[in-house]
A and B are shown apart, each in its own frame.
Chain A
Amino acid sequence: DQQVKQNSPSLSVQEGRISILNCDYTNSMFDYFLWYKKYPAEGPTFLISISSIKDKNEDGRFTVFLNKSAKHLSLHIVPSQPGDSAVYFCAARTDNAGNMLTFGGGTRLMVKP
């Protein structure tokens, strides 16, 4: 049972345009959501996050939107740059003893020059 899903395995965008990466979740107990960026042969690095009590968080070119009623979040990158090409993972946190993060399957973003 996948509690966090990224239904698009890949996305191709032209440089300068907007990239929108989507993520859906099923567990209403998730209290914090994060996006990670991963380059090949490297560990994921934190990108941006949002608390479940908010609906938007912005950091430079990156904005995360949360729609709790739809159990959906999205990451917007604008303008997209070739260096943004990577795999993006959506993750959700449960506030329990392990504070585990549950990850989606990832979306490979390719930004074409």
Chain B
Amino acid sequence: SQTIHQWPATLVQPVGSPLSLECTVEGTSNPNLYWYRQAAGRGLQLLFYSVGIGQISSEVPQNLSASRPQDRQFILSSKKLLLSDSGFYLCAWRGNLYGYTFGSGTRLTVV
């Protein structure tokens, strides 16, 4: 069966520090992968999606970047975090008609 792993679950980082969030998928090959963010009291905003290794599409201009070094690995990064980067980050994998399967999320607090 397919599973999606996302870590860490929580993270507190100072402003200006780097960020690396990792997401891996098991049980499938060449998945479409997505990074979403839920800011406090807001909906789910699509940040990046990837249809294959090295293929990244960005949906909104921001302080973040994404990379897909392996077929089932998707990484969200920042060189210097801003306070506004705080939020709940979700990785997702596209399955069948039932849309996405989400990871358990990472709560990022930038202080």
Contacts and interface: CB of A to CB of B under 8 A. Distances in A.
B27 interface: no
A93 B46 contact: no
Nearest to A89: B44
Contacts of A42: 104-105
Interface stretch (B13-21, B61-69, B71-79, B92-100): B92-100
Indicate the size class of the contact surface on chain B. 20 to 34
Given A89-B44, A105-B42, A34 B99 contact: yes
Interface of A: 6, 32, 34, 36, 41-46, 49, 89, 91, 93, 97-106
15 contacts: A6-B43, A32-B99, A34-B99, A41-B107, A43-B90, A43-B105, A44-B90, A46-B101, A97-B51, A98-B32, A98-B49, A99-B32, A100-B34, A103-B46, A105-B42
